[in-house]
A and B are shown apart, each in its own frame.
Chain A
Amino acid sequence: MTDSAQNANKTARKGVSRRRFLLILGGGVGALAVGAVAAGPTLVREGRLAMNTLFLTGDAPGTAPPKAPFVWFQIDADNTAHLYIPKIEMGQGIHTALAQVAADELDIAWETVRVHQGDAERGFDPALIFTFGSTSVTALYQPIREVAAALREMLRSEAAAQLNVAAERLVPVGSAFMVREEGGDNLLEPPITYGQIVAAKQGEWKTPETTPRLKTGAEFRYIGKSIERVDLRDKVTGRAIYGFDARVEGMKYGAVARPPRYGATLKRAGTGTAGSMPGVIAVVIRDGFAGVVAETRAKAHAALAALDLEWEGGTNISQAEIEALVSIPAQGGTLIQRVGDVEANGGGTRVEATYRVPMASHAQLEPQAALAEVDGDSVTITTSTQSPEITRDSVAAALGVDAAKVRVVPAYIGGAFGRKTGVDVGAEAAILAKGAGVPVHVGWTREEDMMYGYKRPPAVNSLWASLDAEGGVTAVHHELASADILLNPDIGAPILGRILGTDPLAAGGSLILYAFPNRRVVYHHTPIPVPTAYWRGLGSFPNTFAIETFMDELAAAAETDPLDFRLRYKPEGALGDRFERVLNAVAEASGWRGAAPEGRARGLAAVYDRGTVCALVVEASAENRQIRVHRAWCAVDPGLVINPDGAANQVQGSIIMGLSSTLKERFTVENGMAAAQNFNAYPLLTLAEAPTIEVIAINSSDEPVGGLGEPVGGLVPAAVSSAVFALTGERLREMPFTLA
């Protein structure tokens, strides 16, 4: 393969120029360490996709090149290639997927790759490390390839100089080059390894003037392959360190007093007899905060009861009152979609329905946890966080120190699903560590995480549609009300809500993309005095449930097969083609056109969510009025699939978590506090209740355009509701589903 201009593909043409390709070169003797920063098209795209970051930080994308790297390579003399990844591994396989992307373009032998978590120590901007919203691959695919290719070319030209041959004659063969014989095709032994090139290098490295040609799909060695996860060996042997596992010499354990009601604050706090409880090292009381540091977690928690605390304010709201708050008022709201004229076309037969999604706990299996070490005004926090930036800022604010003095070390995350955005436990550990003068680890109990963690916002969606005499849909109106995600004043940007009139994250997925001639969507902002925020899928979860179940209701009203009905109204243009492809793929895999086995029925749902198009079929039964999902098939098109087995794992997990919500989970509040404290009162789906799942991954592009961790979830309740309707004629519109 040669680097001819003729071969240059379109990605290379829109690549970075030298001006934007600022390399940070360095490293020790015999090592080449490269961090790269870029601006321009890739950064703009990242900014666009990562709308959450944009909203949270207020940074306008693309205005100035960032000063921090977004990827870091280091090649050692022994030919090991260290790769520092700026995203956090929480089970989604991101370290593996991004390493595949980098290794492919750098042409390294897979066994030489060592993947590390990138952190602030290597100059990474904590904002970049924010791992959320299924955006990691789409945001970093192109820039990582550009840097890896540039690094490969640096190694090639250096090897050419060392061997005194033309660079064109050097052929990458996996962490090494071989020289092509002059005038022939044979490769001459011995190869020169990247490590040898690095070790023999004298003087400055030269960075390329332009971005080299990037590989085409046919040339990929790792992208598109089901490569084993790089983190599993450490995980199955118990060596992997998560936030709850962080340890340091001399550390003690902290526990923090929690209010009896949401929103209550400390009116008065005294140490009581806590200081003389066994094992207690320090009682830390400051404005609005009371906590204990002790020799063990149990002793710290036991001492909390001996504090002398008085709480004031807060809510005593009941579940019924919450449901009344999250409802659709007779008027008002913010218009967020208008296609055609719904009013003028709202005659004919009317179909209408209202759907409800309750609060839910993330129930990620590792509760919040952080270790804080305070040394003067410098702080180190080792924690499971999706956002080192938010952790850093909340710790800095809590201790009144400069954010630059707070170092956040991101550990492996034992499940997050939106729960670990860094809003609380890091600051608690820091306050206690400073107060006690020793390093302190705070790990929330399950009860604390369930009672005090923010929740999935409850939502209600009402839809109506008009059908003409032939069963054609003339208009669809969708109105929704949700408690807050981004507008939650503790975590988000309330000012944005005032400007937009919506919570943009709760409104996600609420637009009607099917090609009905007249469409309208209205959003109602209905906050509740219970903390609600990010939960896997954000607004896409309730909105997809509502829209897709309604599609099934419309298909029934139009006496059309739900698959044919969706194909008839598929979105316009290329998106419609992608819908058609996933719908047909899932229909074929599931045998949709044939009859379901005796006693079972199938349900279908499809969605476009943040770049990914997917369709799901479930097969369910309702023996003894117990809903059971036996099988599921999901076709998913995220553009380009980096790791098919990893993609399948994400989709399978999303379906199981979605089914757990569909059939089991309902978080309720009584007298202003969680009714459930642990899994006995908040059961999750178990293994015996899980269906077998077949995933069909579809590549529709030469680059990844969407994520995989979230789009599928909201399809599950819609497909299950539709299957139960096909089976029993009963429509389930409120999660979790039960047949009376």
Chain B
Amino acid sequence: MQLTINNQVYEVAADPDDMLLWVIRDTLGLTGTKYGCGAGICGSCTIHLDGAALRSCITPASAAEGKAITTIEGLAMLSDDGEEVLHPVQQAFIETQTPQCSWCMSGQMMTAAAFLENNPQPTDAEIEAAMNNNICRCGCYARIRAAVARAAEIAQEGAA
């Protein structure tokens, strides 16, 4: 099947019901997307499918055919002179020194990025609701709240 990931087209030999997470990680080697539960509970495996956050561990690869997949590796942009420019969410997670082990953080950042796309100026309560289904065992929750709020600010500054 053909999958489009971070604007690149991959031809992959995968069974239609192979879960997208493992096609991305194991077959294609994009290991930035993480596995935590395989059951749609923890959010570590969150990617974007046509811009919407999605749990790739419970999504068959065939469901992504013909759609645009974005993973954490595709969140940053390249500037004209080839420099990596971090997405506001990535910048904010570093600025607030949010990650500890960071195993959950690809999923946290992908969730946050999709959320802010739809809600660029969220309230704290909206951030709480949007981020509440992503587990962080290291306990970075207070910083995740701050990081998402900061990411919204950075995006506004960039847009202004």
**A joins B in a complex:** yes
Q: Which residues in chain A, 65-101, are within 8 Å of chain B measured between CB atoms?
A: 90-93
Question: Could you list 28 examples of A-B contacts with CB < 8 Å?
Answer: A91-B99, A229-B97, A233-B94, A236-B90, A237-B75, A237-B84, A238-B32, A238-B72, A242-B31, A242-B103, A245-B31, A366-B101, A412-B102, A414-B101, A415-B103, A415-B138, A446-B37, A446-B38, A649-B143, A652-B140, A652-B142, A653-B138, A655-B139, A657-B138, A678-B39, A679-B42, A680-B41, A686-B133
Q: Mark B86-120, 1 if CB is under 8 A from A, else 0.
A: 10001001100101111111100100000000000
A687 contacts B by Cβ under 8 Å: yes
Q: Is the interface of B mostly helix, strand, loop or mixed?
A: loop
Q: A237-B73, A240-B102 are in contact. Are A365 and B137 (CB under 8 A)?
A: yes
A656 to B84, CA, bound (A): 34
Distance in Å: Cβ of A148 to nearest Cβ of chain B: 25
B22 touches A228 (CB 8 A): no
A555 to B73, CA, bound (A): 55
Identify the 10 closest CB pairs spanning chains A and B, nearest first.
A238-B32, A656-B139, A414-B103, A91-B101, A91-B100, A245-B31, A653-B139, A690-B141, A238-B72, A235-B102
Distance in Å: Cβ of A140 to nearest Cβ of chain B: 20
Number of interface residues of A (CB under 8 A): 63
- CB contacts (< 8 Å) of B29 on chain A: these are 247
- CB contacts (< 8 Å) of B141 on chain A: these are 656, 685-687, 690
Distance in Å: Cβ of A76 to nearest Cβ of chain B: 23
Taking A237-B84, A247-B31 as known contacts, 9 extra A-B pairs with beta carbons closer than 8 A to each other, sorted by chain A number, are A229-B99, A232-B102, A237-B72, A296-B22, A365-B101, A367-B35, A649-B100, A678-B41, A693-B142
A693 to B139, CA, bound (A): 11
A253 touches B26 (CB 8 A): yes
- CB contacts (< 8 Å) of B139 on chain A: these are 652-657, 660, 685, 690
A686 touches B142 (CB 8 A): no
Distance in Å: Cβ of A300 to nearest Cβ of chain B: 11
A651 to B137, CA, bound (A): 14
- CB contacts (< 8 Å) of A657 on chain B: these are 137-139
A413 touches B97 (CB 8 A): no
A413 touches B32 (CB 8 A): no
A238 touches B36 (CB 8 A): no
Distance in Å: Cβ of B21 to nearest Cβ of chain A: 10
A10 contacts B by Cβ under 8 Å: no
- CB contacts (< 8 Å) of B93 on chain A: these are 232, 236
Distance in Å: Cβ of A256 to nearest Cβ of chain B: 17
A363 contacts B by Cβ under 8 Å: yes
Identify B135's interface contact among A245, A654, A686, CB under 8 A.
A686
Question: Which residues does B use to contact A, with CB under 8 Å?
Answer: 18-19, 22, 25-27, 29-39, 41-42, 44, 71-73, 75-76, 84, 86, 90, 93-94, 97, 99-106, 109, 128-129, 131-145
- CB contacts (< 8 Å) of A336 on chain B: these are none
A231 to B140, CA, bound (A): 16
Distance in Å: Cβ of B51 to nearest Cβ of chain A: 18
A699 contacts B by Cβ under 8 Å: no
- CB contacts (< 8 Å) of A229 on chain B: these are 97, 99
Q: Which residues in chain A, 263-288, are within 8 Å of chain B measured between CB atoms?
A: none
Identify B42's interface contact among A90, A365, A413, CB under 8 A.
A365
A366 to B42, CA, bound (A): 11
